[in-house]
Chains A and B, each alone.
Chain A
Amino acid sequence: MPFLSLILIRTALLYLAIGFTLGGLILLNKAVPFQPALWRLLPLHVEFTLVGWIIQFVMGAAYWMLPRLGQYRPRGSDVPVWGTIICLNAGIWLAGIATFVSSPFPLEMAGRMLEFAAIVLFAVHAWPRVRPFGEG
Chain B
Amino acid sequence: MPAISRWFIKAGLVYFLAAMLLAIGLKAQFSFPVLRFLAFFNPVYYHLLTVGWITQIIMGVSHWMFPRFSREKPRGNEALAWLVFVLLNAGLLLRITGEPMLALNPGSIWNTLLILSAILQWLAGALYIRAIWPRLKEKP
Residues on A lying within 8 angstroms of B by beta carbon are 1-3, 6, 9-10, 13, 16-17, 20-21, 23-25, 27-28, 30-32, 49-50, 53-54, 57-58, 61, 65
| B115–A31 touching, CB < 8 Å | yes
| A9–B136 touching, CB < 8 Å | yes
Q: How far is the CA of A131 from the CA of B132 in the complex (A)?
A: 29
| A17–B139 touching, CB < 8 Å | no
A-B contact pairs, 14 of them (CB 8 A): A1-B136, A1-B139, A13-B129, A13-B132, A17-B125, A20-B121, A20-B122, A20-B125, A24-B121, A25-B118, A27-B114, A30-B114, A31-B102, A32-B111
| A54–B55 touching, CB < 8 Å | yes
Residues on B lying within 8 angstroms of A by beta carbon are 50, 54-55, 58, 61-62, 65-67, 95, 98-99, 102, 111-112, 114-115, 117-119, 121-122, 125-126, 128-129, 132-133, 136-140
